[in-house]
Amino acid sequence: MTHDVFNQAPPLTGHDVSADAALLAGLAREDAGWATGELHRLGTLAGSDQAGEWGRLANEHPPVLRTHDRYGHRIDEVEFHPAWHELMTVAVENGLHATPWSSARPGAHMARAAKFYVWSQVEAGHGCPISMTYASVAALRHSPALAADWEPALASRSYDFGLRPPLGKRGVLAGMAMTEKQGGSDVRAGTTRAEPLSDGSYALTGHKWFNSAPMCDVFLVLAQAPGGLSCFLLPRVLPDGTRNAVHLMRLKDKLGNRSNASAEVEYHGAVAWLVGEEGRGVRTILEMVNMTRLDCVIGSAAGMRYGVTRAVHHAAHRGAFGRKLIDQPLMRNVLADLALESEAATTLMTRLAGATDRAVAGDRAESALRRTALAVGKYWVCKRGPVHAAEALECLGGNGYAEESQMPRLFRESPLNGIWEGSGNVAALDVLRALGREPEALEAFFAEVSLAAGADRHLDDAADRLRKSLGDLTDIEARARRVAEDMALVLQASLLVRLAPPAVADAFCASRLAGEAGRAFGTLPPRLDLDALIERAVV
């Protein structure tokens, strides 16, 4: 009798992760309804015991660096658990990487974003090489000849792991190396040198402090060329089959993201090819950075969805003091607040993905909106991820603190997107740069917000305050975080007022704009329809 198990939540498996009202509405709204069937098939796999086990094993058996073979030859390879390769195979076969670039179908980037959102809830770490492969094409198109050679391989739906001549493989993956130990986000301080060679290639020499996903086939790298900081395409294996002079010095021992390898690397005359023009490396690689920033928003939104669905599931099955947790008023307030934050993030994410589709197709207004809204979303959604994960974990009590719940993995992962591709200060200052350099970006932002004008007085008041704040340049840099936060809340509110059920929009505007809630989750005013909010987080 001492080992009878009762009053414990059953495992949350055997469900469709894509059965997410906000996600499916965004998919249809952003011209990607044609992908609904594919998304549900992926969502069903994502909710299976098998996929969950892949995620667990990939994190409990992290990658191992093999610098030399048994004879002392440098090989610089990273060894992964088979579960990692299962996750990668599903991601590539479902087109979560560069496939949208090879499609002329409307909504291709939105469809890919929805799949990335769903599959990231299985395991986030393997999303790093998937995301960078997706983003690399935007930068490569600055050199049409290189893009013509590499895009078919990058967009291939075949996962072909291993170091071999990349253009002879069934599919390739791309990574990125920008930061150096003396520079960090100040990439212009990099000291890696690029010397022109007689055949038009360059020889790179230097040390990179963070090389994302060093097991990829090819990398976009920043280095100092004679004409200034430039962007280069650097393969791990050269066309003749020899290993490029890329030495993996060590793998980073990271807080989270443990299934994925991040390395320090040295280039010893490594051969690379110029992407874009000499001296315009930052502008070139920013095309890649902006695409990966979209995935930062998607990843953080996915983490929020994962957290709140686990919290609601636990509360629905766990009893205390004579009632299920989900029936207790204070817990309902917490769960509803978590669901509200999650839905706001997901709705913004789908809007950004739709703007990406239209910007790629040449829509200048959508491109201007995306320039500002993406930086705003990167700052705020990624900033909210860790506090959301902490609160969702707390809903499970001590069970949530145990590794078996997978909530600690979510918590450890949650700060990453706020750091990757520019930490909070970088993202907030990028908002100011966009507003200062591109007046049309601010116009596009308020044009989007104005679509909801008159529907909610709290939103109208907040939009007016924001306009006044942006008109005052006093100490604007010191206020950059507050500006980015206010813009994010106004944008999210305007989207929810237009696109979400009234219960969701009313709760967001009252709590996030009108100050009717406190600073912690679970402080929503009692007059709101909490039942409707929680119901949308049930799986």
Query: HEC string of 258-273?
Result: CCCCEEEEEEEEEEEE
Query: Are 294 and 303 spatial neighbours (Cβ–Cβ below 8 Å)?
Result: no
Give the separation between CA 291 and CA 137, rounded to whole angstroms.
Answer: 9
Read off the pLDDT band of 2 (50, 70, 90): confident
Here the tokens at position 148 are 């013509």
Q: Is the pLDDT of residue 50 over 90?
A: yes
Q: How many CA atoms lie within 13 A of 269 on its CB side?
A: 1
Q: Tell me what pLDDT residue 189 has.
A: 85
**More confident position, 2 or 292:** 292
Question: Could you write out the three-class secondary structure of 395-427?
Answer: HCCHHHHCHHHCHHHHHHHCCHHHHCCCCHHHH
Q: Is the pLDDT of residue 184 over 90?
A: no
Q: Is the pLDDT of residue 327 over 90?
A: yes
Average pLDDT rounded to a whole number, residues 366-373: 95
Average pLDDT rounded to a whole number, residues 242-267: 97
Question: Phi and psi (nearest 5°) for 486?
Answer: -65, -40
CB crowding 65-95: b at 16 or more within 10 Å, else e? beeeeeeeeeebbbebbebbebbbbbbbebb
Question: Phi and psi (nearest 5°) for 77?
Answer: -115, 155
In degrees to the nearest 10, what's the CA dihedral of 464, 469, 471, 472?
150
Rama region for 195: left / alpha / beta (φ>0; ψ in -120 to 50; rest):
beta
Here the tokens at position 307 are 């957290």
- pLDDT per residue over 106-159, tens digit each? 999 999 999 999 999 999 999 999 999 999 999 999 999 999 999 999 999 999
Q: Tell me what pLDDT residue 418 has.
A: 96
Lowest-confidence region among 69-83, 177-191, 451-465 = 177-191
Q: How far apart are the first and last CA of the chain?
A: 32
Q: Tell me what pLDDT residue 187 has.
A: 84
Q: Is the pLDDT of residue 205 over 90?
A: yes
At 44, which amino acid appears?
Answer: T
CB atoms within 10 A of CB 249: 16
Percent of the chain with pLDDT over 70: 100
CB atoms within 10 A of CB 158: 12
pTM beyond 0.95? yes
Q: Tell me what pLDDT residue 260 has.
A: 97
Give the separation between CA 452 and CA 472, rounded to whole angstroms.
Answer: 24
Beta bridge partners of 340: none
Q: Is the pLDDT of residue 295 over 90?
A: yes
Question: Phi and psi (nearest 5°) for 424?
Answer: -55, -45
Q: Tell me what pLDDT residue 464 has.
A: 97
Percent of the chain with pLDDT over 90: 92
- pLDDT per residue over 343-365, tens digit each? 999 999 999 999 999 999 999 99
CB atoms within 10 A of CB 319: 14
Q: Tell me what pLDDT residue 3 has.
A: 87
Q: Is the pLDDT of residue 422 over 90?
A: no
Burial class (CB in 10 A: 0-12, 13-18, 19+), 293: buried
The DSSP string of 453-509 is TTS-HHHHHHHHHHHHHHH--TTTTTTHHHHHHHHHHHHHHHHHHHHS-HHHHHHHI
Q: Tell me what pLDDT residue 526 has.
A: 86
Query: Are 173 and 213 spatial neighbours (Cβ–Cβ below 8 Å)?
Result: yes
Q: For the chain, what is the mean pLDDT?
A: 96
Q: Tell me what pLDDT residue 47 has.
A: 98
Read off the pLDDT band of 499 (50, 70, 90): very high
Read off the pLDDT band of 1 (50, 70, 90): confident
Q: Is the pLDDT of residue 438 over 90?
A: no
Query: Are 56 and 21 spatial neighbours (Cβ–Cβ below 8 Å)?
Result: no
* Torsion sign over Cα 246, 251, 256, 257: positive
Q: Tell me what pLDDT residue 17 has.
A: 98
- pLDDT per residue over 216-225, tens digit each? 999 999 999 9
Q: Tell me what pLDDT residue 334 has.
A: 98
Average pLDDT rounded to a whole number, residues 21-49: 98
Query: Are 502 and 452 spatial neighbours (Cβ–Cβ below 8 Å)?
Result: no
Helix (H) or strand (E) holding 108: helix 108-120
Q: Which residues are CB-contacts of 321 (< 8 A; sequence separation ≥ 6)? A: 328
Q: Is the pLDDT of residue 185 over 80?
A: no
